Structures are given as structure tokens and as C-alpha cells.
């Protein structure tokens, strides 16, 4: 009697029991922090002073008046926009190039992936040395062509582009990898048909490769954009947000408030805005992915 009950009970409920660990982890590590973040963003919380007061939307109002926040926001947008666009273009060109049968493409492929394998901190430290105006290797090389005195990350005007360049160097391979995988999974039939119909190389790319590759492109862009919006390591090491705040990004600014000044409420509110912004952009891409039909 009892044994029968157990097996019946477990048959009915085992599935719930089995997902308990996962649900627990999800609740503890994702859902609880999210709810806490919403609550914290409506408070002024400072661990140093022990202050914890409900202030409604005061944090958000202050953020909108905060010139440093807007400066960081602008830098983040420029960094993401310029960086991801160039990474995508270069990655696509490389992928197209290396998916055709050229000599030594396996070696090129492996070499191209190496920047991505390095930890961002290492990349930042290496580039900081490469960029030293006086005896860095880039300026030495440019000097051979008569170009002198570029200050790279030390000048207000070139600091952000210099950091974007580091990001491009490190993450173009990622774009390349995903796009290459996409290219290689494309069906061959449309290409054969196009060749029979006498389509030019550009036409093949424009009307066959590009539409077929669109889902992969969207995923690649989405991943890179979400990642770049929270860029931190390289900037923290290379410029600390300077000179004159020219390279301060949102993550850096949030870190400062959260972990240096202990304005937890304010930092959480900013993180929340960054999250909302990221969600909006992602949704835009995901919708694009859903509505676009691959085959007409």
C-alpha cells in the first residue's frame, strides 16, 4: 500500500523535485538580486554612513541632472557604436575571405583567434606599453613613415579612439568566428543556381549570402553590443576614465559610485537604467530576427 503511494507520488511530482535545484539557483542568483536592485534604486543607501532611506525616484531625477552620467553615457554609446560597427565590418570581410579556399587558411584562422584568448587585463597592459608615445612600438613604426608625436590614450582627442582600437583588435576575431561558422553552414544550392543564372559576385553576396546570413549577423551584433555596453577592464587599466573624463564609460562611473563612494542606491539606479537601455536595444534586434523571413 505504502510503496504504491510513494511511486505514485514520485511519478506525479518527481519532475518538480528535479527542477528545484535549478529554480533555487535562479531565485537566489537572478531573481532575488533583481528585486533587491529595484528596491535599492529607490533608496539612498550608503554602506559607509549606514544611511538607508526611501526616496522614491529621487535617484533617477539626480541621474538625469548629473553631467558626469551623461558624459559617461555619451562615451559608452560612441564606444559601442563605432567599435561594434568596425568589428562587424572587419569580421565579415575576414570571414568571407577565409571561407573561400585560399592557401594556408587554417593557419590564418588560428592566428586570427588568438587576440580573443587573452584576458582583457593583459591586453590593456600590453597596449599601454605599445602606446607610450616616446618609446612605444606603434609610434616607432609610424616614425619610419615620418608620422610623429601621436599621444594615443594620453590626449583628450585620441583617447577614446585609441581604446576603441584596442577593443577592435581584441574582439574582431569573435565576429569573424561567428560569421565564419554562419557562412559555412549555408546551403550550396542557391549559389549553384545563381552561378548558372550568371549572377555577379556582388549580386551573390547581396541577394544570397547576406539574407541567408542575417540571423547569424543579428546574433553576433547583439552579443557584441551587450558586451561592449558594459566595457570596463581596458579602460580601468589604461586611462582610469581620463584624461579629462574623455574615456569614462557607464560601467566605470557605476563602479566608482558603488564601490569607491558606497552610494549603493545611486549606483543601482544607474545600473538599472543601463539594463533598461540594453533590453530596449536587444529587443529591437530580436524583433528583427523574428520578423525577417529568411526565404521569400
Contacts with other proteins by CB under 8 A lie at 2, 5-6, 9, 47-50, 68, 131-135, 149, 151-156, 159, 238-246, 256, 259-262
| Cell representation of residue 251 | 560601467
- Interatomic CA distance for residues 215 and 286, integer angstroms: 9
* Minimum gap (Å) between residue 268 Cβ and other proteins: 16
Contact assessment for residue 278 and residue 229, using Cβ atoms and an 8 Å cutoff: yes
* Minimum gap (Å) between residue 70 Cβ and other proteins: 14
* Minimum gap (Å) between residue 47 Cβ and other proteins: 5
Contact assessment for residue 283 and residue 225, using Cβ atoms and an 8 Å cutoff: no
Residue among 36 and 284 whose Cβ is closer to other proteins = 36
Residue among 37 and 194 whose Cβ is closer to other proteins = 37
Sign of the torsion formed by the C-alpha atoms of 285, 290, 294 and 296: negative
- Interatomic CA distance for residues 21 and 16, integer angstroms: 10
- Interatomic CA distance for residues 235 and 53, integer angstroms: 33
Residue among 214 and 256 whose Cβ is closer to other proteins = 256
Please state whether beta strands 51-54 and 43-46 pair in parallel, antiparallel, or not at all (unpaired).
antiparallel
* Minimum gap (Å) between residue 89 Cβ and other proteins: 28
* Minimum gap (Å) between residue 151 Cβ and other proteins: 5
- Interatomic CA distance for residues 158 and 25, integer angstroms: 44
- Which residue do the cell numbers 555619451 mark? 74
- Interatomic CA distance for residues 179 and 91, integer angstroms: 7
* Minimum gap (Å) between residue 270 Cβ and other proteins: 15
Residue among 135 and 202 whose Cβ is closer to other proteins = 135
Residue among 230 and 256 whose Cβ is closer to other proteins = 256
Residue among 78 and 154 whose Cβ is closer to other proteins = 154
Amino acid at each position: 500500500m505504502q510503496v504504491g503511494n510513494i511511486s505514485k507520488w514520485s511519478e506525479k511530482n518527481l519532475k518538480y523535485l528535479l527542477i528545484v535545484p535549478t529554480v533555487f539557483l535562479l531565485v537566489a542568483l537572478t531573481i532575488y538580486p533583481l528585486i533587491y536592485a529595484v528596491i535599492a534604486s529607490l533608496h539612498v543607501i550608503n554602506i559607509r554612513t549606514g544611511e538607508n532611506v526611501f526616496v522614491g525616484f529621487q535617484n533617477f531625477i539626480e541621474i538625469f541632472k548629473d553631467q558626469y552620467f551623461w558624459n559617461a553615457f555619451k562615451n559608452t554609446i560612441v564606444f559601442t557604436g563605432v567599435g561594434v560597427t568596425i568589428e562587424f565590418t572587419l569580421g565579415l570581410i575576414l570571414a568571407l575571405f577565409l571561407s573561400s579556399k585560399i592557401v594556408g587558411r587554417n593557419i590564418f584562422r588560428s592566428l586570427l583567434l588568438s587576440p580573443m584568448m587573452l584576458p582583457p587585463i593583459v591586453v590593456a597592459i600590453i597596449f599601454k606599453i605599445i602606446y607610450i608615445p616616446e618609446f612605444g612600438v606603434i609610434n616607432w613604426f609610424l616614425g619610419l613613415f615620418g608620422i610623429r608625436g601621436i599621444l594615443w590614450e594620453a590626449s583628450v582627442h585620441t583617447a577614446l579612439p585609441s581604446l576603441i582600437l584596442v577593443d577592435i583588435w581584441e574582439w574582431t576575431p569573435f565576429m569573424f568566428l561567428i560569421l565564419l561558422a554562419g557562412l559555412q553552414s549555408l546551403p550550396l544550392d542557391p549559389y549553384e543556381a545563381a552561378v548558372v543564372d550568371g549572377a555577379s559576385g556582388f549580386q551573390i553576396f547581396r541577394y544570397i549570402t547576406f539574407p541567408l546570413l542575417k540571423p547569424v549577423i543579428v546574433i553576433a551584433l547583439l552579443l557584441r553590443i551587450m558586451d561592449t555596453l558594459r566595457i570596463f577592464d581596458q579602460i580601468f587599466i589604461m586611462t582610469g576614465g581620463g584624461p579629462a573624463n574623455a574615456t569614462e564609460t557607464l560601467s566605470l562611473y557605476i563602479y566608482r559610485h558603488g564601490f569607491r563612494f558606497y552610494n549603493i542606491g545611486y549606483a543601482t539606479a544607474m545600473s538599472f537604467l543601463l539594463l533598461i537601455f540594453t533590453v530596449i536595444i536587444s529587443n529591437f534586434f530580436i524583433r528583427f530576427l523574428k520578423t525577417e523571413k529568411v526565404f521569400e
